[in-house]
Structure 1
Amino acid sequence: MMEHLTNLLQNILQKGSDEDIQVITDFLANMEKKQQGDFSTYLSAALHMERQLEHDRCTIEMPITPLIHNTGKNPHGGILATLLDTVMGTLANSKCDEGFAAVTTNLNIHYLSVATEQTLRAESKILRKGKHTIVVEGYVLEPDGRLLASSTASFFIIPKFG
């Protein structure tokens, strides 16, 4: 396994473009940060999601890099959906009692504009918390506050496994 990975990496480094090498470098640096405890999941590490969780709000910032580009060199809509699900899900999970977790049951997104800056910022707040469900709203913005996407999501509260 290790030999295969070493060969793969050597081939990419020898044949890759500067952009390829930068994407690999950033990815590996973020995986190292996950090992050090700076990121809680592989996904948040891979996308370099930096979060702030306050009482009733969550904010996540992430850089726009070639890793998240679509064929038009814009952030892929699926990445914005992942960012929104993560910022809203993080907040919903923070409101669950010990031994319970929130899982997405519905995610509705309105894409409003294309990103023009180098950073995406997602924000979320609770709209309603019930006994079995939590409803959250979220937004993706540019650093200047320009709205790129708005979203609502419902989360079902379930017992944690493991």
Structure 2
Amino acid sequence: MKNLSKQFQRIVDNSSLEDLKILGDFLENFEKKQHGEFNTYLSASLNMKRETDENSSVVSIPNTPFIHNNIDIPHGGILAVLLDTAMGTLANSKCPDGYSAVTTNITIHYLSVSVEEIIQADAKLIRQGRHTMVVEGNIFQQDGKHIATATGSFFIVPKKR
């Protein structure tokens, strides 16, 4: 524990204002995870917000330097996580009791760069079968600019007990 405290102090001592903002946001969301406000460390670290209804799922994250690549734009892998989460959340909401949906295939087309403060992925069901589902996901900015589009296949599996 002592080494962790020393490491944390070194990090704080060597941080820029941007570093401290990102670290503060991360720690705030880590605490929220500890209190049950987030289900996973990934959703906590990305500060994911989710809304799901019968026909759609919306997942959003803040567009901060935490998710940027080395050319200061949102990393494509993070957008893939956002799309997969929106589509998977919807797929899981459609599963019968005792079952979950897992991604078996995802195809993403990156169309533009997101510049808004919040990046939001919307998902809708294309087809639901007994064993598989196909879901579509899109990221649009509020001005209508299309950032990315995806389709995903999900396999319906029994939940682990």
Name the TM tier (shorter chain): over 0.9
1:30 shift after superposition: 0.6
Q: Is contact 1:121–1:143 with CA below 8 Å preserved after alignment?
A: no
How big is the alpha-carbon RMSD for the aligned residues of Structure 1 and Structure 2? 0.9
User: For residues 34-89 of structure 1, what are the alpha-carbon distances to aligned partners after superposition, in whole Å with 9 as ceiling and x for unaligned?
Assistant: 12222111111100110101111000111011110000100000000000000000
Shift of residue 4 of structure 1?
2.2
What is the distance in 2 between the residues matched to 1:51 and 1:151?
18
Match of 1:155 in 2: 154
Q: Which amino acid in structure 1 is aligned with residue 106 of structure 2?
A: L
- Where structure 2 has 5 or more consecutive residues not aligned to the other structure, the ranges are none
For residue 109 of structure 1, give the secondary structure of its aligned residue in structure 2: strand
- Which residue pairs with 1:30 in the alignment? 29
How does the TM-score come out when normalised to structure 2?
0.97
Q: Partners of 1:73 and 1:113 in 2: how far apart?
A: 14
Q: Indicate the residue corresponding to 1:83 in structure 2.
A: 82
Q: 2 CA distance for matches of 1:144 and 1:63?
A: 17
> 1:115: Cα distance to partner?
1.0
**Identity fraction in percent:** 52
Q: How does 1:72-151 map to 2 (within 5 A)?
A: 72-151=71-150
Separation of aligned partners in 2, 1:146 and 1:73: 19
How many Å separate the matches in 2 of 1:34 and 1:143?
A: 29
How many residues align? The count is 161
- Residues 97-119 of structure 1 deviation map (CA, whole Å, 9 limit, x = unaligned): 11111010000000000111111
TM-score by length of 1: 0.96
Q: Aligned-pair distance for 1:29?
A: 0.4
2:63 aligns with 64
Map of 1:6 onto structure 2: 5
SS at match of 1:39: coil
What's the secondary structure of 2:83's corresponding residue?
helix
Following superposition, the deviation at residue 125 of structure 1 comes to 0.5
Q: Is the contact made by 1:120 and 1:143 (CA closer than 8 Å) also made in structure 2?
A: no
